[in-house]
Structure 1
């Protein structure tokens, strides 16, 4: 019998989501059988390692992380059929009686069920034992034990599947970063009064098939612990377009609060383009510390970098996030823009946001403008700037240049 593959190191992560089912099962079965010790183990490198233990008052004998060589314990013998799963009195079973561990612990009674992976490979054991013989243990108790062991097996297999999925995602994200399997497109942002392009937002489009939206890629990267790495890779590619942009155009890039707080963003922004750089901090992610966020943004703002709140009105903490951040630019989410010409509630919220921006010296960018009616209403409400398919679709640097030329000619 070989050790299980991959181990169960992340068990705590997936067990904590719905409570530790395995630990609860150990407590329940130990109390039901009236035995002193219950444990759940994993086979690793020829040893059985205790992953979960319930042994009140006996922590000096057994605790999580302890291990024994498989040759010294009952496990191999039970798997091979040389020992029964249920031993009511070890003194009556020759092999058990002769094993040194029986007297050393001591073990008077023992009941154990193998935990197996979906392919049948032994993973570990679900076990109860007592220093006393318990003659009353019977087949009904063994059946009950199997039920609880089955719960543990399902948790193990689910956890290992989660690990395999996570490893697959990690590999996929790593490959995307290494091969730069994404493109950067630029969507123009207009001054709504002059209808000229004054800035653009860089948007990421992933090439890998099947197509998945950028938010799914970034979520996967975050779940795999590669969120900042993917952001940094995309930002490096994005900021490289600065020399190609018209000198009058600012570049708006997206950054998570986590990335900003990490301090790794400041090294990416070229000093000569700092006053044309806008950092959009998404409202869909929580901020662990506004003090740390401001500490990292302060030197960037001194260089001329502007800060925007992205998706305002649709994200994590609403107006509180805007107040705490004190942005130069507030990007009104498309959920407020959409049908604003016919929805009094949206108009009221947008109007309040415009008023707040004026009072605080910020600019409003209305996102997702798709109809002339929406555009007219936003202009009447006092929105400074706009972005959306009606005004200009995302495209390459040449398309942005053409949009800039066309709007400046029209304005002239």
Structure 2
């Protein structure tokens, strides 16, 4: 960023770092609050704030004070025409006011006494379109004759950074709004359909259950993982998962009573408590909860407690996507899983890749030692199936045995 004003080099470097220094997942809001603190402390002010002009009012959006006891709060507002902010933007008031009680305009404004403003400095925040978003201002309870044009140049530089950050935030909010509406548009609608993939028991050579899989029929088409990942980022992940599980479990009434339905769920959804309500009027003995190996678990004890009432009702727990690392073993042991599902990345070409075969063999031995069943998914060839039989896995699923299908097709096959 190139500043159009001339703060000194030290000040410029300080502001440049705020914009360019890598800050990981730091939010725009955090950066703006940090910027306010920098400005207030550097200028020796009591309060610094960023305001927005909305519907004829000046609304405080961000505030920083030296004692956290400012007479204003985020969200407070005043009629725009009665504020310093509006008068500064309209150039009816100087940007630097050394003593508000000596100024012909500010000494007569109610806000001067209301906020105990002794000296003041403010500048407009203009977006790239030229629109005035609001102002960046700071004030002191006492008069200050030391404020000067160099200080104002520093404030203007801060305004430029603020404009960039706010514009970025506005763009992000618009994007989040679009994505949120997209997620909401498929919840509990025909656009979100459940398909069922059969799981075959190798000993009986018959179907023992079905894994439920979401399909989204939208234009443009997007794969299920994209939908769920986006929903999770927007904090709609639990809502979308619960919707999918509710849809999936409706299939129980159409299937053979000896068949189960496996549903995919995340630790977040389990911890939310929603599943207990979903399973309230369902035969939980016909439900398998699949937790992916890749789902992070922050607190195993809390997750076990949330799972306890579901498992007491008869629901089984499966660790999905096993085979990619240590988490497989940790999830299984910590959660006392009933089923381990070998990931398709492990089962594909298992017949021709000795390392995969040995890893699967180790997982199967591990499962047997703790009385867990093993299901291998992603089986696409007879050679793969034969290798899995050699490993004595309990059940298999994959395109070789049956593709995911809507419930109508499943019933026709059955």
Further displaced range: 282-291 or 99-108: 99-108
Matching residue within 182, 186, 196 for 2:196:
186
Matched-pair contact (CA < 8 Å) for 2:263–2:290: yes
Cross-structure match for 1:144: 154
Structure-2 separation of matches of 1:63 and 1:183:
47
Question: Aligned partners of 1:218, 1:359: CA distance in 2, in Å?
Answer: 34
Q: 2: CA distance between counterparts of 1:108 and 1:299?
A: 62
In structure 2, distance between residues paired with 1:353 and 1:328: 14
Deviations 1:59-87 (A, max 9, x none): 35556555544343311111212123344
Corresponding residue for 2:250? 240
Q: Please show how residues 362-377 of structure 1 align to structure 2 within 5 Å.
A: 362-377=372-387
1:338 is matched with 348
Whole-Å separation in 2 of the counterparts to 1:256 and 1:286? 9
Question: For 1:112-131, what aligned pairs fall within 5 Å after superposition?
Answer: 112-130=122-140, 131=142
Counterpart residue number, 2:10: none
TM superposition shift of 1:107: 4.4
Query: Structure 1 regions of 5+ residues with no counterpart?
Result: 1-13, 405-412
160, 164, 175: which one aligns with 1:165 = 175
Query: Structure 2: which 5+ residue stretches go unaligned?
Result: 1-23
CA shift at 1:206, angstroms?
Answer: 0.7
User: Is the 8 Å Cα contact of residues 23 and 52 (structure 1) preserved in structure 2?
Assistant: yes
Q: Secondary structure of 1:374's partner?
A: helix
Sort the Cα spacing of 1:273 and 1:97 in 2 relative to 1 into closer, same or farther, 3 A. Answer: closer
Secondary structure of the 2:135 match is: strand
* Deviation larger for 345-354 or 96-105: 96-105
Alpha-carbon distance in structure 2 between the residues aligned to 1:222 and 1:80: 44
| Aligned equivalents of 2:85, 2:47: Cα separation in 1 | 16
Judging changes above 3 Å, is the alpha-carbon distance between structure 1 residues 200 and 315 closer, same or farther for their aligned structure 2 residues?
farther
Match of 1:212 among 204, 222, 241: 222
Q: Which of 306, 320, 331 pairs up with 2:330? A: 320
| Alignment check: 8 A CA contact 2:96 2:147 kept | no
Report the Cα offset of residue 145 of structure 1: 1.8
Choose the corresponding residue for 1:252, options 262, 267, 273.
262
Is residue 2:94 matched to residue 1:84? yes
Superposed CA RMSD in Å reads: 3.2
2:187 corresponds, among 160, 177, 185, to 177
- The verdict on how the C-alpha distance between 1:175 and 1:100 changes in structure 2, with shifts beyond 3 A counting, is closer
**Residue in structure 2 matching 1:353, options 360, 363, 369:** 363
**What is the CA-CA distance between 1:218 and the residue it aligns to?**
2.0
The count of corresponding residues between Structure 1 and Structure 2 is 390
Does structure 2 conserve the Cα–Cα contact (< 8 Å) formed by 1:286 and 1:316? no
Supply the distance in 2 between the matched residues of 1:58 and 1:176 (Cα, whole angstroms). 44
3-state secondary structure, aligned to 1:211: coil
Distance 1:315 1:153, change over 3 A: farther
Q: Does 1:50 align with 2:65?
A: no
**Conserved in 2, the CA contact under 8 Å of 1:189 and 1:386?**
yes
Cα distance in 1, alignment partners of residues 101 and 195 from structure 2: 76
d(CA) in 1 for partners of 2:27, 2:360: 38
State the alpha-carbon separation in 1 of the partners of residues 119 and 281 from structure 2. 74
Structure 2 equivalent of residue 134 of structure 1: 145
Q: CA deviation at 1:322?
A: 1.4
Alignment partner of 1:17 out of 24, 27, 32: 27
Q: 1:353 aligns to what SS in structure 2?
A: helix
- Change beyond 3 A, Cα 1:275–1:37: closer
Aligned: 1:309 with 2:319: yes
Q: What does 1:54-69 correspond to in 2, within 5 Å?
A: 54-57=64-67, 59-61=69-71, 64=74, 67-69=77-79
Distance 2:201 2:236 in 1: 36
**Kept in 1: contact 2:346–2:356 (CA 8 A):** yes
Q: Distance in 1 between matches of 2:43 and 2:283?
A: 72
